[in-house]
Amino acid sequence: MNRNITSVIAGNEETGAPGGRFRSVNPAATSEVVAEVALGSAKMFADAARAARAAKLSWSDVPAPVRGRAIAHIGRLVEANAESLARLVTREIGKPYAEALGEVREIVDTCDFFLGEGRRLYGQTVPSEMPDKQLFTFRNPVGVVAVITAGNFPVAVPSWYLVPALLCGNCVVWKPAEYASASARALYELLVRGGGLPDGVLNLVLADGDETFAGLDIALGEGCVDKVGFTGSSKVGARIGELTGRHLQSACLELGGKNPMVVTPSADIDLAVAAALFSGFGTAGQRCTSLGTVIVHEDVREEFTGQLDEATRQAPVGDPFRDVVYGPMLNARFGRRFEEYLGWIQPYHRLLGSTGTGRITARNPREGFLGDPEAGIFYHPTIVTGLREEDALFREETFGPLVGLMGYRDLDEAIRLANAPGYGLSAAIYTRDPAEAFRFRRGVSAGMVSINNSTSGAEAHLPFGGNGKSGNGSRQSGIWVLDQFTRWQSMNWDYSGSLQKAQMDVAELNADESYRLTD
Ligand code: UN1
């Protein structure tokens, strides 16, 4: 099944392709075209922002509980289409089907959380310093939100932005990754149809990065975008942050990670190995929460390394519709970039985990591979031991199936190593010692900490986000994301009939501060 995918602005399909045409292919079988995509231009992005601005008032006037019902219906419609959406995700970006189903579940969870928020969106009543005066706070929608997302979670991560943004009364321009266009268009349909969204409330723009950036600049300049949500690389995130800052706007940035896992002497080693395998190689290591480096205590290093090597060798890799730990890279572009990371391997490193390194082919086979490796873009899992602190492999995110491993002697050193690369998204520790767990939580710079759980697999209603190179401190999900998509408005109401001046016309009670108790 081959689809033609276009952008949709104010309910109209944009059949022209001013940005050229793009083929979205199945990365597990690259001869299979999943979609032909008509790409838009900077102008199209700016047009979409104008359409969103035009729809802004009518959507924010819809009562929040009614918007909550729209989210409820979206959740049910996604649930009813779960298998076909998951199949499309697997075909388009190669995520194993079980994981794709989990990804779709994450949209439903997000809808379940926010459908009730339509009946809350609480403001406060606050006492005044003066009589016959009352203070209030209100959450106002920000206006138009531009959402730019990556393709590794082509539907779940966008829903973390789109669902609360819409619930809060905002109109949206969504620019997904081109290589995940078919999945994005499918989610767009479920949102618009399930929510009964009027034209212009949600607009989909398919475009490359440069056109999007130029379009965002125009739209920000015209005052058509009031908030930007971006999930992607730290490098692009910095550019988006700079651009929004120039227009006095703030971006919600969810960027890369070099997520550490500390394995202490008291750890349950079997558990830690299972977690390292899942978070290091699940989704072919292409989650922002994927494991970067295992920092393992010297006393258990040999045991842990041996077991992780064995488990990784045994792990089924291949056709994502079969029962595999991981399938192909998301897209050829990620394969090429992963080759660059492999180029950072030094002669003093020791490689474990597979029968080869690099692309899996007939001449560079992976034992137990499920399917035809040459049909797609598959890479060997690689464990790199003997890492040094100055190594690029230790310091930089290596989006792909690669895990580093190094030793430590005391917890302070482990915490220092965990923070050294300067990211701060997710961090894990395996320990049976509560004091160690709390010392780690306090010392580590990550926005999300796991105790005896892997670095990936965050639940959809806890604050999600990072610090340092992983983001600018913004948080998604749960009640915390409301602060991204609403702005507080305060109101005071004086019904005294006189001009009561704050800080000046305030009654004082006579306190006797000289009073002392006598023995
Ligand atoms: C991402 O890779 O951008 O915590 C998000 C996790 C997923 C989300 C990852 N729930 O691994």
Q: Which pLDDT tens digit goes with each residue over 277-332?
A: 999 999 999 999 999 999 999 999 999 999 999 999 999 999 999 999 999 999 99
Centre of ligand 1 from the C-alpha of residue 457, in Å: 6
Testing ligand 1's pocket by substitution, the residue of 106, 152, 157, 477 carrying the most ligand atoms inside 8 A of its CB is: 157
* Ligand 1 neighbourhood includes 230 CB (under 6 angstroms): no
What is the average pLDDT across 107-131?
A: 97
Beta strand 227-231 with 144-148 is parallel
Instruction: Give the pairing type, strands 227-231 and 202-204.
Output: unpaired
Picking from 469, 474, 473, 471, the residue whose alpha carbon sits closest to that of residue 421 is 469
Percent of the chain with pLDDT over 90: 98
Give the whole-angstrom CA distance, residue 383 versus residue 229: 33
The first and second tokens of residue 348, run together, are 């003093």
| pLDDT in the model for residue 401 | 98
Give pLDDT tens digits for 141-180.
999 999 999 999 999 999 999 999 999 999 999 999 999 9
Q: Positive or negative CA dihedral for 58, 64, 70, 75?
A: positive
| Strands in 121-266 per DSSP E | 125-127, 133-141, 144-148, 171-175, 202-204, 227-231, 251-254, 259-263
What pairs with residue 139 in β-bridges? 488
pLDDT of 2 strictly over 70: no
- Rounded to whole angstroms, the Cα distance separating 271 from 277 reads 10
- 262 Cα–ligand 1 center, Å: 20
Q: Is the CB of residue 278 below 6 angstroms from any atom belonging to ligand 1?
A: no
Indicate the SS3 state at residue 307. Answer: helix
Q: How confident is the model over 202-239, as pLDDT tens digits?
A: 999 999 999 999 999 999 999 999 999 999 999 999 99
Pocket test for ligand 1, best of 153, 326, 461, 476 (most atoms within 8 A of CB): 153
108: CA distance to ligand 1 center in Å? Answer: 15
Evaluate the CA torsion angle 285, 451, 99, 233 in order and state its sign. Answer: negative
Q: Please give the radius of gyration of the chain, using alpha carbons only, rounded to the nearest integer.
A: 25
DSSP symbol at 283: G
CA–CA dist 396, 220 (Å, integer): 31
What average pLDDT does the segment 116-132 reach? Answer: 97
- Assess whether the C-beta atom of 455 lies below 6 angstroms from ligand 1: no
Kindly compute the dihedral angle of the four CA atoms of residues 158, 39, 200, 152, in this order, to the nearest 10 degrees.
0
In ligand 1, the atom with minimum distance to the C-alpha of 286 is 2
Burial of 493-511, coded b for 16+ CB within 10 Å and e otherwise, reads eeeeeeebeeeeeeeeeee
What pTM does this model have?
0.97
Q: In what order do the strands lie in the sheet with 125-127?
A: 125-127, 133-141, 486-494
Q: CA dihedral defined by 450, 104, 48, 484, rounded to 10 degrees?
A: -30
Residue whose CA is at the smallest distance from ligand 1 atom 6: 457
Confidence of residue 506 (pLDDT cuts 50, 70, 90): very high
Q: What is the Cα–Cα distance from 19 to 47, expressed in whole angstroms? A: 14
Q: How do residues 244-269 score in pLDDT, each as one tens digit? A: 999 999 999 999 999 999 999 999 99
Q: At what angle do helices 209-221 and 42-60 cross, to 10 degrees?
A: 50
Dist. CA 173–CA 195, nearest whole Å: 16
What's the maximum distance between 2 C-alpha atoms anywhere in the chain?
A: 93
Using most ligand atoms within 8 A of CB, pick from 258, 261, 287, 454 the residue to mutate for ligand 1: 287
Ligand 1 centre distance from Cα of residue 464 (Å): 9
279 CA closest ligand 1 atom index: 11
Dump pLDDT digits (tens) for 47-81: 999 999 999 989 999 999 999 999 999 999 999 99
Return the ligand 1 atom nearest residue 254 CA: 3
Report the percent of the chain where pLDDT is more than 70.
100
| Closest ligand 1 atom, residue 290 Cα | 11
Find out whether the beta carbon of 159 lies less than 6 Å from any atom of ligand 1: no
Res 1: pLDDT: 47
Q: Which residues are the active-site residues?
A: 288
